[in-house]
Structure 1
């Protein structure tokens, strides 16, 4: 690191502790400011970080020592806050989903590019060693033709999860339910491995919770442009919290990731024999922690977040795109919003411009 990079954490929700801890663990990076609409929450996180706190976002953005803002506010505010930061000359990291509207998400991308600031959308599991290994094997052709992908996120959230935050479970601010909030990272890896999506056909429902406007169960079939097929299944009603599981199948290879662990990885070798990859040689950044299936995202140890923050710093120093830039962050959002459209209309939806 050539100099110290100042970070501002914008929002003090469940994942804010992970952002603070992982930024603070990077040599040459420091949290210098924290923003929340609620003074007590801003003070609490700022005290931990040894940072200044703000309840006025405009005032925070005036600071010259802030290089990067990390936005973790309610999903429906992401684009507006990112655009304001970009226009203030700040580089932007934004938590998933990048917004709940494709139009606003694209505007975020456009403004960041116009202002010549970097934009990175949190997709930390792309940085997991297991994901890096699988992606390398797919891109090198060792998996053969990709034929089937199965993504499932069967987690549990109590009724209080929705009741204690007024924006959760609302169309206006949450944008959706299990798919756009809990399953988006698995869906991102799903398309990252399988390839560009051509169309989706889906059903969603509200079956388990009261007072919410968004799906707590969803099932979708997916057709990929390469001819492969897939399924996406998600719920927040799987008491007491089961797993996030991704199965990837090619003509020459199979891989299974469950709760961020690479459970199976088989490749057919040149002698047409099955070869099991030595999983012990692949470093895992997360254990199979049941907590994030049943409680909240703060249970994650956050090491892959750290890798994404480091990538953002390196992108600034090297004047290159972050590995998960705005266009990459847009891909899972397009899939999820197409699933919602299919569920509303009862029709398969073609995905354009993927």
Structure 2
């Protein structure tokens, strides 16, 4: 049986979704949707399928089994909820939503639907992330004592001028933490454990003339297991440096710098290489979109929700929004 699929949002990141769909056996792209006439026309020409400006029209006429949502952040929750309410399975890009209220709306929509939904925290599928999770959950390394992470990237004003929603509270729901560093926030809480308290700050140090959201942030988080993690991220770096993630346990140190180095207390050292990006997409998107998408389609017939679902994705959204609440107390309505 052929699975009918569609893509809503034909901007930058949609390219990796189109690429992944094209490699799936038994999956047929049947429609695309975008409110921008130029992007819609380009997608129709590129993929030879009908185009729609209205997602409800797409659902009614094209009858997809799965919809990929790759729109600006402020559209994620509403579009995904509309699909779920109509029994259509969903793969939605991160973040879950641009506000906590919209995120909660999507969590509830998923709980009330028989359709499945995945949120694209694809870095959980990285070879290094999988290895870290396996080691930590095995108990071999003992208790987690603490962790640290950095995201030292570069974005200029042109990045935001090209897509103005990225630099606004209304469109993006935030800046660096919502758009770039949320993947690392997700890995930190997934690998170390649920965050129970967080204290931090977000600020605009470099791009104040181009954006109203933050380009730099830091926080200290306390985890349910008693571990403490520290985090720093900025878009003012000279280059897009590799994300770093260090986890200290009783018997080893796990250090992510592209590849994963595991240094044991007895002197042994293991290295887990990360997969190399072959084609399609930008290096900082990571290498695992295709793995997540393939896994989602493989699990469509399974009972229960997909493992990276809205309730799981809400965890990182709450961490980010708590940093905003502490940093912008005078603008809580804007930051959501």
Q: CA deviation at 1:125?
A: 0.9
Is the CA contact (8 Å cut-off) linking 1:311 and 1:323 kept in structure 2?
no
Residue 33 of structure 2 is matched in structure 1 by 35
Q: Name the CA shift for 1:55/1:31 in 2 (closer, same or farther; >3 Å).
A: same
Residue 268 of structure 2 is matched in structure 1 by 275
Residue 304 of structure 1 is matched in structure 2 by 288
Residue 143 of structure 1 is matched in structure 2 by 141
Question: Structure 1 stretch 56-65 or stretch 189-198: which is displaced more?
Answer: 56-65
Q: CA deviation at 1:228?
A: 0.9
| Unpaired stretches in structure 2, ≥5 consecutive residues | 331-336
Q: Name the CA shift for 1:152/1:41 in 2 (closer, same or farther; >3 Å).
A: same
CA distance in 1, matches of 2:284, 2:328: 33
Q: Name the CA shift for 1:86/1:149 in 2 (closer, same or farther; >3 Å).
A: same
Matches within 5 A, 1:1-354: 3-63=1-61, 65-209=63-207, 210-258=209-257, 261-268=258-265, 273-279=266-272, 284-286=274-276, 298-299=282-283, 303-345=287-329
CA distance in 2, matches of 1:208, 1:63: 46
Question: Structure 1 stretch 20-29 or stretch 317-326: which is displaced more?
Answer: 317-326
CA distance in 2, matches of 1:176, 1:98: 13
Query: What SS does the aligned partner of 1:21 have?
Result: helix
Query: What SS does the aligned partner of 1:223 have?
Result: strand
CA distance in 1, matches of 2:168, 2:28: 34
Query: What SS does the aligned partner of 2:32 have?
Result: strand
Segments of 4+ moved more than 3 angstroms? 296-303
Q: CA deviation at 1:9?
A: 1.0
CA distance in 2, matches of 1:297, 1:169: 21
Is the CA contact (8 Å cut-off) linking 2:10 and 2:34 kept in structure 1?
yes
- Name the TM-score, length of structure 2 as normaliser: 0.92
Is the CA contact (8 Å cut-off) linking 1:249 and 1:255 kept in structure 2?
yes
Is the CA contact (8 Å cut-off) linking 1:18 and 1:301 kept in structure 2?
no
Query: What SS does the aligned partner of 1:147 have?
Result: strand
Is the CA contact (8 Å cut-off) linking 1:286 and 1:301 kept in structure 2?
no
Question: What is the aligned length?
Answer: 328
Residue 292 of structure 1 is matched in structure 2 by none
Q: Name the CA shift for 1:119/1:41 in 2 (closer, same or farther; >3 Å).
A: same
Residue 350 of structure 1 is matched in structure 2 by none
Q: Give the superposed CA RMSD.
A: 2.1
Q: CA deviation at 1:7?
A: 1.6
Is the CA contact (8 Å cut-off) linking 1:62 and 1:88 kept in structure 2?
no
Q: Name the CA shift for 1:66/1:135 in 2 (closer, same or farther; >3 Å).
A: same
Q: Name the CA shift for 1:34/1:300 in 2 (closer, same or farther; >3 Å).
A: farther
Is the CA contact (8 Å cut-off) linking 2:5 and 2:66 kept in structure 1?
yes
1:150-182 deviation per Cα after TM superposition (whole angstroms, max 9, x unaligned): 111111111111112221211111111111110
Is the CA contact (8 Å cut-off) linking 1:10 and 1:34 kept in structure 2?
yes
Query: What SS does the aligned partner of 2:146 have?
Result: strand
Is the CA contact (8 Å cut-off) linking 1:33 and 1:51 kept in structure 2?
yes
Is the CA contact (8 Å cut-off) linking 1:76 and 1:174 kept in structure 2?
yes
